[in-house]
Amino acid sequence: MACIVQDYCLLPKKVCYKYPEYINFKTKEKKGCLFAHIQYMLKMWEKFKKRYLPCLTRILNKLHKIDESLTDILIKIMIILHDYGKIAQEYYEEINSKKYHIYYHEILSSCITYDFLRENTNKKLASVVAAAILLHHEHRFHRILKHTWAKVGYNLSKVIEEITRKYLPDVIHVENEANEMIKKLIKNLWKNKVNYSIFATEYKREKLMKTLKSLCDIIRTYRSMLAIGALNHVLVILDIRAAHYLRKDRAREISRYFKTVLTGGRLII
């Protein structure tokens, strides 16, 4: 299968289509290449950032002194890590599971992003980028929050415990090869000395639970919420457009909202 990003792909051919961008768990069908999806999003961001970068920098500057160069890096890190949870072995094992959606990849993606950016920037910036990733499938995350609130009430700690125990296995496994590909993408854009020690081949649920609690404790201010919304907006636009393009499903009927996201509004380029 020919890769549509082969002209600018930074990764070796051995990982091409090894990690699918999407799995239809009802039909057991794997679609696309996750790393092609990421690199196409990065390419789109280069076109969009002239419109969004100044505004995002002003918003993030309310949390921590930041310039456009660092904002640009944060957006690219967000893009690279937003689907990190999809390279986990448990994501593919779900195909053979009798349960549906027992593993939510965005939880691992968010925790890894928070830990990585906390080590290399600061907690406030790390928390809003990670939260934007946590909510990039907001429709289903709101659904599980609604059900969890009904069960345990509005105690944040109990909500996080319930969600992680229900939607994450005891241990999540990631191949070293996949981690190396992620690090290669980051190294290509971030030339500073960066700490990559948080990337591992095993992640325990209890540790991820603590990370998620720490993240949620920081994002309770209105400035954090504004930043999360702004970052999430950009991430979702890029994610939907890249997925729509790479999956070649333009003929499928979509809502007016997604037609606007894909083809209309101020994002026409």
Residue 4 lies in a domain: no
Q: Identify the DSSP state of 168.
A: S
For residue 231, the one-letter residue type is L
Chain centre to alpha carbon of residue 188:
19
Buried b / exposed e along 114-149 (16+ C-beta atoms within 10 A): bbbbbebbebbbbbbbbbbbbbbbeeebeebeeebe
Residue 199 lies in a domain: yes
- Per-residue model confidence (pLDDT) at position 92: 80
Locate tokens 């051995």: which residue? Answer: 14
Does the pLDDT at position 79 exceed 50?
yes
- pTM for the model: 0.90
Does the pLDDT at position 95 exceed 90?
no
- What does pLDDT average to over the chain? 87
Q: Identify the DSSP state of 204.
A: E
The domain that holds 138 is classified in CATH as: 1.10.3210.30
- How many Cα neighbours within 13 Å face the side chain of 258? 14
- Per-residue model confidence (pLDDT) at position 262: 60
pLDDT band at 258 (very low <50, low <70, confident <90, very high): low
Does the pLDDT at position 98 exceed 80?
no
Higher pLDDT, 116 or 263: 116
Does the pLDDT at position 268 exceed 60?
no
What is the average pLDDT across 50-54? 93
Does the pLDDT at position 69 exceed 90?
yes
Residue 1 lies in a domain: no
- Per-residue model confidence (pLDDT) at position 236: 92
Higher pLDDT, 94 or 36: 36
Instruction: Name, in order, each residue with C-beta under 8 angstroms of 241's C-beta and a sequence gap of 6 or more.
Output: 44, 261, 262
Containing structural domain, residue 211 = 13-267
Higher pLDDT, 205 or 258: 205
Residue 8 lies in a domain: no
What is the domain count for the chain?
1
β-strands 202-204, 171-173: how paired? antiparallel
pLDDT tens string 222-256: 999 999 999 999 999 999 888 887 776 544 555 56
Lowest-confidence segment of 36-40, 136-140, 174-178 by average pLDDT = 136-140
| Spatial separation of the C-alpha atoms in residues 231 and 35, rounded to whole Å | 21
pLDDT band at 269 (very low <50, low <70, confident <90, very high): very low
Instruction: Name, in order, each residue with C-beta under 8 angstroms of 215's C-beta and a sequence gap of 6 or more.
Output: 110, 111, 114, 126, 127, 130, 131, 134
Residue 5 lies in a domain: no
- Per-residue model confidence (pLDDT) at position 257: 60
pLDDT tens string 181-222: 999 999 999 988 899 999 999 999 999 999 999 999 999 899
- Per-residue model confidence (pLDDT) at position 261: 60
Residue 6 lies in a domain: no
